[in-house]
Amino acid sequence: MTPGLVISAPASGTGKTTVTLGLLAALRALGHKVAPFKCGPDYIDPAFHKAAAGQPSYNLDSWAMPQARLLEMVAEDQGADLHLAEGAMGLFDGVARPGETGIGASADIAALMGWPVLLVINVAGQAQSAAATALGFSKMRPNVHLAGVILNNVASPRHEALVRDGMAQHNITVFGALPKRPDISLPERHLGLVQAVESPDLAVQMARIGAFIAEHVDLLAVMAAASSRAKVPNIPSAKLPPPGARIALAQDAAFSFIYPHLLQEWRSEGATILPFSPLADQAPDESADCAWLPGGYPELHAGPLSAATHFRAGLLAFGRDKPVHGECGGYMAMGTSLIDKSGTAHPMVGLL
């Protein structure tokens, strides 16, 4: 298979997303085709991946997905020069009880695919001690290979030299050192980053992050460190059938949390996706077999959704005779009312 890497870290908030987006954008600018992935169940990061890489990012969840399906999803994009997967939380973090293929840890994906790990370490407030973190991570699981590290929040050239010296004493490769740059970070809210669709200057942001990473990371060394041991399974994995032949799908800034691979599977099974925008006061197509309201942030758009009377009446009428699936924010919108952060209640669809 195409060689790959996992971008991981000891914990959340260390700079994984910034490094991943920067690598995607920088390598794309050099003419490389990089296929992005996200370890675990996440809707927000993959949207940023798509903006940086220019193609969809697919989720690889070792807890929820069978091994054969994980391998198939990676094998489906063999035209790429590199597979790049962003981890979730810390490299070995997951749930207590194993699921389909593992505990949901990024390390599960690294081991299954044979992708080496680039560990992003926040070295603020430490120097040679950072090597102990990298060394411990390199020995935690024998089937997970640490390619090396990228240092984040480097305070000065002297600080960088001290950290590099500690790493060199233990033969740990340093692929780059990122100085403190507050303007590079992306805005966040309670479920993670602010959505890509809410960023009007997204292309400018991706270019800026890409240039930052290109300046401070050895891109050729990163490409050379990638590898893969994965093989395409002989027996295709079982896929869930689409919920209908014609699926009315809510898609706008309020309802954007849906996995690209799910839509791809539905289409491959012959289903037709009929998008509609509740924020534009559009109702689901009456010819659809079912309506699907994904998650998102409807609470940020409660006023416009409440004012979308055609959408509300149309979905209510649709739901009298046909199934309506709502998850997370979509389920919230199906209720009687939605209370925004100011405490104001806004009438919703009233299906529940």
pLDDT score at 236: 73
Q: What is the pLDDT of residues 293-345, one digit of tens each?
A: 999 999 999 999 999 999 999 999 999 999 999 999 999 999 999 999 999 99
Q: What is the pLDDT of residues 43-52, one digit of tens each?
A: 989 999 999 9
* Reported confidence tier of residue 191, pLDDT bands at 50, 70, 90: low
pLDDT surpasses 90 at 186: no
Q: Which distant-in-sequence residues (6+ apart) come within 8 Å of 198 by Cβ?
A: 253
Characterize the bridge pairing of strands 192-193 and 272-276.
unpaired
Instruction: Give residue 196's pLDDT.
Output: 65
SS3 294: coil
252: Cβ contacts below 8 Å, ≥ 6 apart: 277, 278, 279, 280
Q: Count other C-beta atoms under 10 Å from residue 337's C-beta.
A: 14
- Asked whether 154 and 215 are in contact (CB, 8 A), the reply is no
Q: Mean pLDDT score of the chain, rounded to an integer?
A: 94
Long-range residue pairs from 12-16, CB within 8 A, at least 24 positions apart, any chain: 12/88, 12/89, 12/90, 13/122, 14/120, 14/121, 14/122, 14/152, 15/120, 15/122, 15/150, 15/152, 15/153, 15/178, 16/86, 16/87, 16/120
- Residues annotated as part of the active site: 328
Local structure of residue 227 (DSSP, 8 states): B
Q: What is the pTM of this model?
A: 0.92
Q: pLDDT tens digit string along 1-50?
A: 899 999 999 999 999 999 999 999 999 999 999 999 999 999 989 999 99
Read off the pLDDT of each residue in 157-186 and give the average, rounded to a whole number: 95
Question: Does pLDDT of 240 surpass 90?
Answer: no
* 64 CB-near residues (< 8 Å, 6+ apart): 41, 99, 100, 104
Set out the domains of the chain in order of their start, with CATH numbers.
Answer: 4-225 (3.40.50.300), 246-347 (no CATH)
